[in-house]
């Protein structure tokens, strides 16, 4: 049995939008603002499992914490410049577990606020 390769690009934005309960247009807006991992080799951009963690983090910062695009870029730069791959993955795993604890009702309550 082969191990799962979390770096292989396999997911389109439409699948990621379903996973995150986000609108495709919202994810495309993040992409247009340069907040998503850069994929410049294909017409239809595909993302890896590790990319999904970053996309979920970006969506959380924008949608829940209401941080603007420049603030998110700054946060992502800090993470990229100051963490090696192992620490970055550990950090994103912690963020992922915290995001799993946020329920749909909590998100809807924040959106209506």
Structure tokens at 32: 């247009």
What pLDDT shows up at residue 44? 79
Q: How confident is the model at residue 113 (pLDDT cuts 50, 70, 90)?
A: very low
pLDDT tens digits along 9-29 = 899 999 999 999 899 999 999
What pLDDT shows up at residue 29? 95
pLDDT tens digits along 41-97 = 667 789 999 899 999 999 999 988 899 999 999 999 999 999 998 998 898 888 888
What pTM value is reported for the model?
0.81
| CATH code of domain 13-112 | 1.10.1660
Burial of residue 36 (CB within 10 Å: 0-12, 13-18, 19+) is buried
């Amino acid at each position: 049995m082969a191990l799962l390769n979390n770096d292989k690009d396999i997911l389109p934005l439409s699948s990621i939008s379903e996973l995150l309960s986000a609108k495709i247009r919202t994810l495309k807006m993040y992409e247009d603002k340069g907040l998503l991992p850069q994929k410049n080799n294909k017409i239809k951009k595909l993302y890896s499992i590790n990319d999904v963690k970053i996309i979920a983090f970006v969506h959380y910062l924008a949608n829940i914490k209401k941080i603007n695009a420049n603030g998110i870029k700054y946060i992502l730069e800090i993470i990229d410049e100051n963490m090696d791959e192992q620490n970055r993955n550990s950090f994103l795993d912690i963020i992922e577990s915290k995001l799993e604890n946020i329920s749909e009702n909590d998100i809807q309550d924040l959106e209506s606020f």
